[in-house]
Chain A
């Protein structure tokens, strides 16, 4: 008999719908205003801190829904935004500068849903409010600095190899270094010598045969760009953590762009200030003769200054700076020959000379690396923005084993993680390419909320209109199509919630509304086909069978082309257009599934394989 389905098909389709429904559920629960409390770099949040906070919330008469410690962070939930703001004051007063308190909206997903990994959809900034920055890394600055370093290096190298040159200069426009000589023999000798030192250099001679033109290979250029970008991303990540934002996003985009998204942040001025602040690095000798105990009491020796390490250990450092971070060209963590973690540092030529001179008489002494950063304090300045406070800390101190040059390493680091951290900080202090904000979008919290409401109302009413139309036009079959339409919406929301990378934006919501309108298309095609078959005089069962059969080829062709468009949009578009493409693509796939597979099951269930004289279509 035609138009009958095996039981397993029903089970599979119902199973899929239930799964989507369960994963769509978390979106129905409202979010709690919450506080995220985490320790600044290196610190930890202890259970004591949590108890303390709970205590002070209670004494201030703030009813916290819950205060829990998870993954090294405290999450405190509240009933209202007023409570949340008040609690933030208390928390930042009590915890001081070693902790970051961030406002957050924590999803109030019930535990049983969290346990199976069901979370609400990610909302784009246009729906939840916040700041979006697009920054461009100034690659030219990085390449120019590299050229200037090359000039210094060549001078030193040629001098060491006793090759006489007239002049070494950088031609920034052409991206090359010009070295002029007195004789052609010197040109040849210099080329051989420099090539032996660095295989990645590309040589050519100018028309006068006395000038050597040196540039760097494409591979090296790419390395420099990558390095500059990575370095900036690392620094921005560190800074963003200091601003105290829950769920920040720092991501590279293309070859020289960085996207930063800070949900919930409204004060763009201070965010910009923090992101743009400069960090620097200094190497200084440890003053081991000085009286540390006296210094702690306020009597610091005249040539020294008191510093603290990250774990709070005091250190006396000499005032004289041996080297600053601008001379660092690279820092990476690795393992030494005994597979102990170490950090290797590369300096430019000038830095190498400086450090070499400074460490000549200091073998056996200790050298400290000081990281300096500017951070917004609690005090508000005249311009209404927080005053930046200079923060200095010793990130490492190690004994100088030998006279140091352009390449040296720091060993004796306790763990690979620590080595990684140290190399990151060293690079951060040596920022070579400045960044510039080229796009900024700030959405206020009220607008975000409004956008969600508008989107949801539009989807609801759009649905209602289509549902009514379908019932009027196709009667019982219209009801079947309506079931498919509702199932389609559940599937879209469920899938959007399941895919971790999918973000719902306002254009995305428009995409859902459009899908609702277009999703019935497949059913219209099928139903029109069935009507035609009936008019042609086929039996009811034949008509259903052929209707679905014939319409499917059309549905497949037309939807594949639309899907093609969605994929192209996703590939080429950015931000909101991408969001739109994702919902459109998901909508097309789910609508084919519900409109073709889903309705067929219902139609077969009600009318298939029976002696029916006419169809309510």
Chain B
């Protein structure tokens, strides 16, 4: 069984300019949304307190809000979390009370109102300095990851491909953050992890295509650059689609069965993988092509590892 079986390479590069215009528009749109609507940063980044409590019966959110207002937490955001018995309460950073004590005092206030005591499921308090540091660290992690990849790909391949790979990664990250901004989904620590995982996944995809481009350049002697790239993309298309499919399969499972805490993670990766698959075909290769990659750049051939040597080393 095969998904695609082509006798002729598909002409992917014919669409390179429309693809680049589309990507540019999407990136500009993401930036616009991030600039105007901003990103709905989660507790991990903003600091504050999140309290998840379980009620014995389906919770009455209005009553909970009233209780909290009476207790002096009028700025609390109350919502259901996962089920009708689980309530998530967010309280922004405050200056008037002892920060770390907010969680305890909220639970006490709720217990005083309820006939049956609520169960504390989760209390998270993040101080203002921690949140700011996390944003910095996360940004730094992405930056370092991109630079690391830039260097590695330049070393193993060629600088034009390297630029293509990094631009396509940045493209994936920006679009995913744009999606979170447009839909105002909460951007928490797990989403950051997902975006970093996405960088890993997307570079994997891109490298597979690049590897094939390098090979095609050496195999097809009298073919234009466009056709060579088309040949490489076509012959890896099956693999690209199947791997994306299996990964999407498990992510869908994770989305539906992984629980509410992991929703953001699954959403970011599902979207990111769709974008990443597109970008490793179009953005990465097209940019390398526009930058003027040619057969000469791929020569003299870098040494290819012998399969035997490497398996021996692994054992």
A binding-site residues for B, Cβ under 8 Å: 9, 12-13, 126, 134, 136, 266, 268-269, 272, 384, 437-444, 446-447, 450-451, 454-455, 457-458, 461-462, 465-466, 469-470, 472-475, 506-507, 510-511, 513-514, 516-518, 520-521, 524-525, 528, 531-532, 548-550, 552-554, 556-562, 564-566, 568-569, 572-577, 580, 584, 592-593, 596-597, 600
CB-defined contacts of A513 to chain B, threshold 8 Å: 250-251, 253-254, 258
List 3 A-B pairs, minimum CB-CB distance, nearest first.
A438-B127, A462-B250, A517-B247
B52's nearest neighbour on chain A, judged by CB, is A447
Tell me how far the C-beta of A118 lies from the nearest C-beta in chain B, rounded to whole angstroms: 23
Does B74 count as interface, using CB distance less than 8 angstroms?
no
Cα(A458)–Cα(B266), bound, Å: 12
Q: How many residues of B are counted as interface, with CB atoms below 8 angstroms from the partner's CB atoms?
A: 80
Within 8 A of A (CB), among B144-163: 144-145, 148-149, 152-153, 156
- Is B127 in contact with A580, judged by CB distance below 8 angstroms? no
- Is A558 in contact with B100, judged by CB distance below 8 angstroms? no
Cα(A568)–Cα(B314), bound, Å: 23
Tell me how far the C-beta of A545 lies from the nearest C-beta in chain B, rounded to whole angstroms: 8
Q: Which of B61-69, B200-208, B221-229, B289-297 contacts A (4 or more CB under 8 A)?
A: B200-208
Within 8 A of A (CB), among B238-271: 238-239, 242-243, 245-251, 253-254, 257-259, 261-262, 265-266, 269
Given A510-B254, A556-B310, A564-B152, verify A577-B204 contact (CB < 8 Å).
no
> DSSP class of B's interface residues: helix, strand, loop or mixed?
helix
- Is B141 in contact with A441, judged by CB distance below 8 angstroms? no
CB-defined contacts of A517 to chain B, threshold 8 Å: 246-251
B54's nearest neighbour on chain A, judged by CB, is A446
- Is B243 in contact with A531, judged by CB distance below 8 angstroms? no
Find A454's partner among B99, B204, B215, B259 (CB 8 Å cutoff).
B259
Cα(A516)–Cα(B104), bound, Å: 40
Tell me how far the C-beta of A460 lies from the nearest C-beta in chain B, rounded to whole angstroms: 9
CB-defined contacts of B187 to chain A, threshold 8 Å: none
Does B116 count as interface, using CB distance less than 8 angstroms?
no
Cα(A568)–Cα(B201), bound, Å: 14
- Is B144 in contact with A462, judged by CB distance below 8 angstroms? no
- Is A447 in contact with B247, judged by CB distance below 8 angstroms? no
Does B129 count as interface, using CB distance less than 8 angstroms?
yes
8 extra interface residue pairs, beta carbon distance < 8 Å, beyond A458-B253, A550-B215, A565-B203? A440-B124, A444-B54, A446-B121, A465-B249, A514-B269, A584-B200, A593-B314, A596-B314
CB-defined contacts of A457 to chain B, threshold 8 Å: 257
B binding-site residues for A, Cβ under 8 Å: 1-2, 52, 54, 99-101, 103-104, 108, 119-127, 129-130, 134, 137, 140-141, 144-145, 148-149, 152-153, 156, 189-190, 192-193, 196-197, 199-201, 203-205, 207-208, 211-212, 215, 235-236, 238-239, 242-243, 245-251, 253-254, 257-259, 261-262, 265-266, 269, 304-307, 310-311, 314-315
Cα(A557)–Cα(B307), bound, Å: 13
B259's nearest neighbour on chain A, judged by CB, is A454
- Is A511 in contact with B197, judged by CB distance below 8 angstroms? yes
B149's nearest neighbour on chain A, judged by CB, is A561
Find B235's partner among A269, A511, A532 (CB 8 Å cutoff).
A532
CB-defined contacts of B315 to chain A, threshold 8 Å: 9, 12-13, 597
Cα(A532)–Cα(B134), bound, Å: 47
Tell me how far the C-beta of B233 lies from the nearest C-beta in chain A, rounded to whole angstroms: 13
- Is A569 in contact with B196, judged by CB distance below 8 angstroms? yes
CB-defined contacts of B108 to chain A, threshold 8 Å: 384
Q: Which of A13, A266, A444, A593 has the most CB of B within 10 A?
A: A444
Tell me how far the C-beta of B55 lies from the nearest C-beta in chain A, rounded to whole angstroms: 13
Cα(A558)–Cα(B305), bound, Å: 14
CB-defined contacts of A466 to chain B, threshold 8 Å: 246, 249-250
- Is B310 in contact with A552, judged by CB distance below 8 angstroms? yes
- Is A556 in contact with B196, judged by CB distance below 8 angstroms? no
- Is A562 in contact with B203, judged by CB distance below 8 angstroms? yes
Cα(A126)–Cα(B137), bound, Å: 22
CB-defined contacts of B212 to chain A, threshold 8 Å: 554
B260's nearest neighbour on chain A, judged by CB, is A454
- Is B258 in contact with A597, judged by CB distance below 8 angstroms? no
- Is B246 in contact with A469, judged by CB distance below 8 angstroms? yes
A126's nearest neighbour on chain B, judged by CB, is B261
Cα(A597)–Cα(B312), bound, Å: 9
Find A576's partner among B119, B123, B190 (CB 8 Å cutoff).
B190
CB-defined contacts of B129 to chain A, threshold 8 Å: 136, 438
Cα(A577)–Cα(B52), bound, Å: 21
Cα(A511)–Cα(B196), bound, Å: 11
- Is B120 in contact with A266, judged by CB distance below 8 angstroms? yes
CB-defined contacts of B199 to chain A, threshold 8 Å: 565
